[in-house]
Amino acid sequence: MEKKIVELKQVTKIYEGKVMHRALNRLDFEAEAGEFIAIMGPSGSGKTTLLNVISTIDMPTYGQVIVDGMEPEALNANELALFRRHNFGFVFQDINLLQMLTVEENIVLPLTLDGLPIMEMQKRVSRLAEQLSLKEILNRRPDELSGGQAQRTAVGRALVHKPKLILADEPTGNLDSKSAKEVLELLSHINETERTTIIMVTHDPIAASYCDRVLFIKDGEFFNEIYKDERRQTFFQRILNVLSLLGGNVHDLRML
């Protein structure tokens, strides 16, 4: 049995506002080290909230979150910021590269915060550039990149400090299908070779079919969960079957 990297026990998240909203309701969730997991559900079902609670960006109202054996709630603000920076890599739909910096400088940025020796930084960047097929374009700036190259750079930036867990929120949401495929194959490859755990929120059943497991949530509660045990195409069909049971707006299912 693999080590558990994330454990959520009966997690409830209530947003207090003019109208109180229960975004997660008594949700249990576990991720083992090395898993590649997709989180799916209709718009507003709590997917981003779940990712934010796992990444410690947000704290649950009730329930317990344990990441790599630690309870983030027990840490003070500085400790929490460090914990997050050392353990997590983030990939978002909006790629957010720094326009003034080259691909190489964007990738290396998180390491400069930790004051790593230059030789070590160069070693890591050149290894990543190889893995991410960015070798030829390390000196380009973000406005000279395709969408796929830009997102691969962002994946590089998320990986450079060797995080235990990659948290991705719609990483292919703004990409054409060819670039999306490149990024998904890359995430799969990183997951297989480095055993980095990846948790990815997606509306896209094709993206989800690259994962080992898909967790479906509805109204902030567990709805279903399926594991890949066969070819990606058959897994894709099973994902579509659950999505049709889940209901919601068909416009939520982009790229179908």
Interacting residues toward ligand ATP by CB under 6 A:
15, 17, 21, 23, 41, 43-49
Q: Helix, strand or coil for residue 189? A: helix
Is the CB of 45 or the CB of 149 nearer to ligand ATP? 45
> CA–CA separation, 176 vs 182, rounded Å?
10
Is the CB of 15 or the CB of 62 nearer to ligand ATP? 15
Is the CB of 90 or the CB of 110 nearer to ligand ATP? 90
Is the CB of 35 or the CB of 204 nearer to ligand ATP? 204
CB 128 within 8 A of CB 153: no
Per DSSP bridges, beta strands 62-67 and 4-15 are antiparallel
> CA–CA separation, 229 vs 56, rounded Å?
31
Q: How far is the CB of 24 from ligand ATP (least distance, A)?
A: 8
Q: Helix, strand or coil for residue 28? A: strand
User: Quick one: residue 63, left, alpha or beta (phi over 0 = left, psi -120 to 50 = alpha)?
Assistant: left
Q: How far is the CB of 13 from ligand ATP (least distance, A)?
A: 8
Q: How far is the CB of 214 from ligand ATP (least distance, A)?
A: 14
Q: How far is the CB of 55 from ligand ATP (least distance, A)?
A: 13
Q: How far is the CB of 45 from ligand ATP (least distance, A)?
A: 4
Q: Helix, strand or coil for residue 51? A: helix
Is the CB of 145 or the CB of 246 nearer to ligand ATP? 246
> CA–CA separation, 48 vs 155, rounded Å?
19
C-alpha distances out from residue 215 to 30, 83, 87, 93, 197, Å? 10, 26, 22, 20, 15
Q: How far is the CB of 204 from ligand ATP (least distance, A)?
A: 11
Is the CB of 101 or the CB of 253 nearer to ligand ATP? 253
Q: Token pair of 165, please?
A: 């867990």
> CA–CA separation, 180 vs 196, rounded Å?
20
> CA–CA separation, 55 vs 240, rounded Å?
28
